[in-house]
Amino acid sequence: MAEISTLHYLVVAAALFIVGVIGVLTRRNVVIILMSIELILNAVNLNLVAFSRLHGLHGQVFSIFVITDAAAEAAVGLGILIAFFRNKETVNVDEVDLLKW
């Protein structure tokens, strides 16, 4: 393990991705689910920047766009959460069942 290659960074990114997926699928709190989505986006960013060392700066430019996109999505998602919380007084994702049969 003397030489840290690209594969090492990809394994770390995959581990972060798996942890984010478990967080999205398992938690009840909507805020924690949104934070797990941010973990997934960070894993993707790490992948992009790790590959940009091999193929040029395009990966880093794309990761900047991913961070911008994550900011927009977090803002809108939290706005939706606030609107939902104002009506139902809970942040439990199991309570979001108004469209269920």
Site for other proteins in 31-90 (CB under 8 A): 31-32, 34-36, 38-39, 42, 45-46, 49-50, 52-58, 60-61, 63-65, 67-76, 78-83, 85-86, 89-90
Residue 30 CB burial class (10 angstroms; 0-12, 13-18, ≥19): buried
Write down the residue that tokens 């939706």 correspond to: 80
Does 8 interact with other proteins (rule: CB under 8 A)?
Answer: yes
Bridge partners (DSSP) of residue 92 are 29
CB of 100 to other proteins, least distance (A): 15
CB of 98 to other proteins, least distance (A): 16
CB of 74 to other proteins, least distance (A): 5
CB of 80 to other proteins, least distance (A): 5
In this structure, what token pair is assigned to residue 94? Answer: 């199991």
How many residues lie near other proteins (CB under 8 A)? Answer: 74
CA 67 to chain CA centroid, nearest Å: 10
Per the document, the length of the chain is 101
Does 92 interact with other proteins (rule: CB under 8 A)?
Answer: yes
